Amino acid sequence: MIHLIGTYECKADTKGRVMFSAAFKKQLSPVFEEGFVVKRAVFQPCLELYPMKEWNLMMEKINKLNRFNKKNNDFIRRFTAGVKIVEADALGRILIPKELCDFAKIDKEVVMASSVNIIEIWDKTNYEKAIDEAANDFADLAEEVMGNTNADELS
C-alpha cells in the first residue's frame, strides 16, 4: 500500500489537464506508468485519484459484496459511477474528464491533497471551505475516531 504525503496547489488548463507536483511525481514514481483511476468522492464535492494498484485493491473488496443484495448493488453502481482511467502524459499531467470537472467544480485553481493512499482533487475554493468547516469540529472528531484506540492497535 502506498502512503502519500502532501497538499499542493496547481492549475487546471482549459482542457482539464492538471499537472502533478514534483513531490507527488516522486512519491508516485513506482506506480506512475500503471495509470490511475479518477472518480467522484463519496462524501465531498471533490474527485479521488487512485493509483491503479490501489484501485485494484478496492475492487477486490467491492467484488466480495453479494450483488443479490440490493443495497450492495446500489452501492457498487454509485461508487463506480463516472469512473475513468487516466494516464499521465510526458509532462506529468492528467486529463480530468469534463463531467468530473463539472462535478467537482474544477475550473482553474486546484488543490491536490493526499488522503493516505489516494489523492483528492479539489477546486481550491471548495477545499479551503471544507478545511475551514472541518476545523471547527476536528478536535471532537479526532477524539471520537482516534481517542478510543489503543496505541498498540495503530502500529
Q: Which residue has the higher pLDDT, 39 or 30?
A: 39
Q: Is the pLDDT of residue 153 over 90?
A: no
CATH number, span 7-124: 3.40.1550.20
Strand partners, 11: 109
93: closest CA among 8, 2, 21, 5? 21
User: What local confidence, expressed as pLDDT, does residue 139 receive?
Assistant: 79
Backbone angles phi, psi at 106, to 5 degrees: -80, 125
**Least confident window among 5-9, 56-60, 135-139:** 135-139
The predicted model scores a pTM of: 0.89
User: What local confidence, expressed as pLDDT, does residue 134 receive?
Assistant: 77
User: What local confidence, expressed as pLDDT, does residue 99 receive?
Assistant: 96
Mean per-residue pLDDT for 8-22? Answer: 95
- CA distances to 32, 49, 55, 73, 119 from 59, rounded to whole Å, are 19, 14, 6, 14, 17
How far is the C-alpha of 53 from the C-alpha of 35, rounded, in Å? 9
Q: Within a 10 A sphere around the Cβ of 80, how many other Cβ atoms? A: 13
pLDDT band, residue 148 (cuts 50/70/90): confident
User: What local confidence, expressed as pLDDT, does residue 1 receive?
Assistant: 77
Mean per-residue pLDDT for 82-94? Answer: 95
Mean per-residue pLDDT for 110-135? Answer: 94
pLDDT band, residue 50 (cuts 50/70/90): very high
Q: Within a 10 A sphere around the Cβ of 22, how many other Cβ atoms? A: 10
